[in-house]
Every structure is written in C-alpha cells, then in structure tokens.
Structure 1
Amino acid sequence: MASDKDTSAKDFYEDEKHLMKLCDFLRSSEGPPVREAIEMDKRVYYIKGEKLVNFMVEPKKGTKWPKDLPKFKSRSEVIAVCKNLCSRQFMHRSEKVAKGELEVSRVRDFDESAYFTWIYEGNKKISHLMTTCLIIGFLCCTCFPIWPNFLKVFVWYMSVSLLIFIFFLITFRALIFLFVWIIGYECWVLPNLFDEQLGFCESFVPVISIERTKEGQLMYRVGVFVAFFSFCYWAVTQPSEFDGFVKGQGDFIKDLYAGTLLSDVSQKDKENIDKPKMPSLEDLLKKLDSEDEEEKELSEEEAAEALLNSLVEDEDEAESDEE
C-alpha cells in the first residue's frame, strides 16, 4: 500500500495501474509544463528529462500532489520510475531536428539531458464519447429533410435566436470598448471569446480586461468621439427614419417568434420549403411545347423575310433591265 512506510515510491510505481495514475497527474494542468512539436506528421507534447525529474523530486509551489500517490524522496527513485515509463511505452526519447520538429531517437534509455515525447494520452472514454456524439450529430444533420415538422421549426428558432444573441453580444462588446477607449482605456468583455487557439472553457476567462491605451491616440479618440456622438445626434433628430427602422426590426422579431414570418406564403409552400424544387413531367412537356412553338414562329418569320427579300431583289433587277 502507498501508506506503508516500508514500501518505497519506486516499488509502488512498479504496478502499471499506479503508474497510469502518476501519468494522469503529470499530464494534467497540475503537472510540469510541456511544449508542442511535430513528430511523424503528428502534433505531440514533449518535455526535457531534467525538468521532469526536477518536478517529480520537488514540485512547484502550489502544486496539489494526489494523496493516493507517494512522493519521491530522491532523484534516483525518480530516474528509476522514468526508466520504467520509457520501457512501458508511456513516453519515448526524441531528438530535435528543427525548430518545432522532432524525430524518434534510436536510443531508448532515460537521460536527463534528452527530450521525451508523451505517448500516454490518458483515459480516452470522454474522447470516444465526444466522437460518437459528433458522428450521431452529423447523421442527424444529413437526415434533416425527413425530420418531423416541429423539430424543423424548433431548430430554426434556436438557430435564429443564437444568431440574434451573438449579434447583440458583439454589438455590446464593441460599444463598451468604444466608450471606455474614448476616455483612455481598452476594456473588453470576454476578451478571449473568439480566440480559436483556446479551448471552450478558456474562452470565457477572464470575464473582463482593462488596460491603458497606448500613447499618441488622443487625436484619434477625440475624432471618434465627435463622429460617434454626431451620428447619435443625427439619428435622434430624424424621428421618421429612425423610428421606422426600430419599428421594422421589432416587427421582424415579433413575426419570427410568433410564426407569422411566412404568413404571405401558402401552406403548401411552407410544408415544402425544404424540399428541392423539381419540375414535374407536365411542366417539362409544356416547356418543350412552348419551345417548339417559338421555333415554329421564328421559322415562319424567317420564311416571310426571305420572300420579301426575294421580291425586292426581283424589282431591282426589273428596274435595271428597263434602264
């Protein structure tokens, strides 16, 4: 047991289950920092052996070491466990070939001066679950035409509601930034919201950020202040146009959520709004008949024109013979 004094950390981590728990801790946010690189056309995470050993011997301040895992008392114990990690394929030794690029080393032994790439990725149950949900969601989207009508309406309203929320959120963030920037500060609500390099939870941290603006922007701030409030004054002093715009937007949103946005469309067209518009056989025959009639009319006109031209030529020849 981990609590027995006679059992050393080296012996404890001989068990593969305990070794996996140690790797789960080392690969978590509490573990040592790692770097990203490309190895065999795949993005991997690597760490230098010395940094890994230093962390395991003496974790950084504030690190919450798991209670069910014994701490290491010497560097020799850590090196022995790291060798065990390499032998059991939890990590492998790598060599740098270029900036941000690694290749698998032929040497397998653990060395503090070398670099080691993590192979262990932890419990994959959540990843498999997310992959399954993604596949099911994709199949549901491709089967959208055969969905029940109430589900189509629900998805429509949810999509439009999300778009309206994002529009107002972006507008709110921009207005807050503009008002605060005018007085000399840069203020962003949810500054990392649209950062594609961050995860979902990290995109909402921090909630707000405030920094002083760079020097030399005073004239720009004064210009934006004058332009913005001049536009606001113009909009307020134009009641007919501004009120009409506001009323139109309000009516649009009301019709959207009341289900009367397509009130001027027949019920048949509403039900078949998502179906492809394929012409029927009767429509195709009518189109062919109309094309034949047009060609016939054109041929008759060409014949009449040719006859008229021939008559004109005969008259010209007769006049030339008389002369």
Structure 2
Amino acid sequence: MAGPVDATPVVEAQKRADPELKNVIEFLRGKNGPKVRRGILNGKRVDYFKGKTAVRTLLSPQYQKLKKVPVVKDEEEAKALMVKLLPFAFFLRTDRPTLATPPPPGTPKPLQLAPQQSFDPLSYYTWFYDGSPLYTILGGFAMVVIMLAGVMFPLWPVKLRIGVWYLSIGALCLIGLFIALAIVRLIFWCLTVVSMKRAIWIYPNLFEDVGFFDSFKPGWAYDEPKKKKKKRVPGTSSSKSSKKSVDGPVDTVPSATASGTESAPVSDVSGLRSRQAATIEEIDDDEI
C-alpha cells in the first residue's frame, strides 16, 4: 500500500490509536466496510473510498451489533467519529486530479494526497492500513504448507494418494457436467427460438449471482426481453387532446376575450409546434 514519503510516522500514528478506534478500523476495512475502488497513488495501486459511504457503514445494523466500539446514533455522530479517526493515518484524504486525457473506463484512477487533511462526505480517502497482520501471516504460512505438500506428493501414503485421485476425478466430472448443461440449455434455447413464439431457458438463473441451490430454481422460464424505460421530458404531453388543440385550425382561436385580455397569437402556436418537434427529436437522440 502506498504511503507518504516517510512511512514511519504513519505506522507510529496507527499504534497510538485506542483499542475502540482500532476495532472501528477493523470493521471499516473488513467485508462489511465501505465499498472500495482501485486507484494509483505514487505509482502504486491503492484502495480508496468515498466519505459518505463510510458514514452509511457506521450507521448500518452490522456496526450496531459490534461491542467495544464508540456508539453511533445519527449521521452527525458518524461524521464526528470519522474526524476522530483521521489523525491516526489509517486513511488519508486524497484528490482525483482532472487529467487532459481521461483514463479508459475500468482502469484505476490517479490520486494525490490532499494538502488539507479534513473529513468531507463528498471527498475520497485512501487506505494506508491493510488489516490485521495476523491474517497475512497465517495466509503466507498456509501457502508454504500447500506448496510443500504438493512437492512431496510422491511421498504420500498410497491410500491418501488414491483418495486425492478420486477427488480430482470427481471435480473434473462436475466441471464437465456443468459445461454440458450449459451447452444443452443453449441448444434448447435455439430450438425454441426457431419453433416457438417465445424462447425458453432451462435453469434461467444458472449464471446469475445467486446461491448454489437458487441457480437451479426455477427449472425453466420464458426468455423475457428487457424493457427499455423511455425518458419523459417535462413540459410535454402525450394526450391526444393536447395534440388536437395544437394541430387544429388557427382560425378558431378568438382574437380577444370578454375581459379584454388577448389570446396567444398565431406565431406562438407555430412556435409551440416547433418546440414540440424539437423535444421529440431530443428524446429520440437520448434513447439511441
């Protein structure tokens, strides 16, 4: 994780934090924390988040279930807690400079440290804390053990090697069955497209972001096309009555009312027609 020119003060500042504040940081850096984005700071990839997402995270039910953390009841207390965390340099405020040539979509955004470190819900903050080092140590130790076990596979007992072989064959069969199912459902969909008015998908949720068992529910469903929502521009009306009133003969419009107020001239009616035509063209351009 990228840091300032001298990273030692950052580490020392993090060590001075109270246990309750460290618990808050562990929560924010965990899976229930604010959504992080990828950026580039000082030539290194970093994680950063927006201030208002951290405020919402502190107001979430997951945070309220925690113990040994400061109590947060409303948005003002959440902002005050973020201000209290900022001096310990677990995260620092960064800015996204405006570039002459914007980077392609999906690529990390360039960042730079803000000269004034303060908390603002609309600003961005970069993490200088990667979580508890215990998990990093345990993960590294597990990787070493797995690599040694793989290298020493010829020295394993015969029964253990046979069991691993059966497990690998079973895993390959499951993968092959999944691929075959995907091919069969695609062929069936193609047949229904040609022979029926509405195509049918077998296991329509197979590739959706759902649980394992939910991927096979329901067994089949019609292929419903996604409907595009049309944008409506304020000031326009789709009723036939308004259209008839505009397209009707201009001669029927009276020149004056009994009170002496003049009605809209013919030029205003023609201008209304042109404005309506321009509005319809703008809607078509937006939909394209």
Larger Rg computed on CA atoms = 1
Q: What pairs with 1:157-306 in structure 2 (closer than 5 Å)?
A: 157-179=166-188, 182-183=191-192, 184-186=199-201, 187-188=203-204, 190-191=206-207, 204=212, 207-208=215-216, 212=223
Q: Give the one of 82, 101, 113 matched to 2:109.
A: 101
Change (3 A) 1:72 1:203: same
Q: How much has 1:83 moved relative to structure 2?
A: 3.0
Identify the residue that residue 153 of structure 2 maps to in structure 1. 144
- Aligned pairs for 1:73-84 within 5 A: 73=74, 75=76, 77-84=77-84
How far 1:115 moved relative to its partner?
1.3
Q: Quote the RMSD (CA, aligned, Å).
A: 3.6
Determine which of 156, 160, 175 is the counterpart of 2:165: 156
CA deviation string 1:228-258 (max 9, x = no partner): xxxxxxxxxxxxxxxxxxxxxxxxxxxxxxx
Is contact 1:192–1:205 with CA below 8 Å preserved after alignment? Answer: no
CA distance in 1, matches of 2:214, 2:133: 29
Distance 1:128 1:177, change over 3 A: farther
Provide closer, same or farther for how the CA distance between residues 83 and 147 of structure 1 changes in structure 2, counting only shifts above 3 A.
Answer: same
- Flag the 1:67–1:143 CA change in 2: closer, same or farther, 3 A: closer
Residue pair 1:92, 1:118 contacting (<8 A) in 2 also: yes
Q: Which has the higher helix share?
A: 1
Does residue 66 (structure 1) correspond to residue 65 (structure 2)? The answer is yes
Contact 2:57 2:63 in 1 (8 A): no
CA distance in 2, matches of 1:149, 1:127: 34
Contact 1:95–1:103 (8 Å) recurs in 2: yes
Distance 1:139 1:41 in 2: 34
Cα distance in 1 for partners of 2:32, 2:63 equals 7
For the 8 Å contact 1:92–1:104, the answer to whether it is kept is no
Normalization by structure 2: what TM-score?
Answer: 0.52
CA distance in 2, matches of 1:65, 1:151: 47
Letter matched to residue 185 of structure 1: I
Identical residues among aligned pairs (%): 23
Partner of 1:133: 142
Q: 1:84 to 1:71 in 2, by over 3 A?
A: closer
Aligned pairs (5 A) from 1:113-128:
113-128=122-137
Structure 1 position 137, deviation (Å): 0.9
Residues 204 and 117 (structure 1 numbering): CA distance in 2 closer, same or farther, change over 3 Å? farther
Distance 2:123 2:41 in 1: 16
Cα separation, 1, equivalents of 2:224 and 2:138:
45
Over 3 Å counting, the alpha-carbon distance change for 1:115 and 1:134 in structure 2 is same
What is the alpha-carbon distance in structure 1 between the residues aligned to residue 158 and residue 43 of structure 2? 46
CA-CA distance at 1:54 after TM superposition:
5.8
Partners of 1:168 and 1:83 in 2: CA distance: 54
Unmatched 5+ stretches in structure 2:
1-15, 193-198, 227-288
Deviation at 1:142, TM superposition (A): 1.7
2: distance between equivalents of 1:52 and 1:152?
A: 49
Shift of 1:208: 4.2
Q: How far 1:78 sits from its partner (Å)? A: 3.8
- Check whether the contact 1:94–1:114 (CA below 8 A) recurs between aligned residues: yes
Secondary structure in 2 matching 1:38: strand
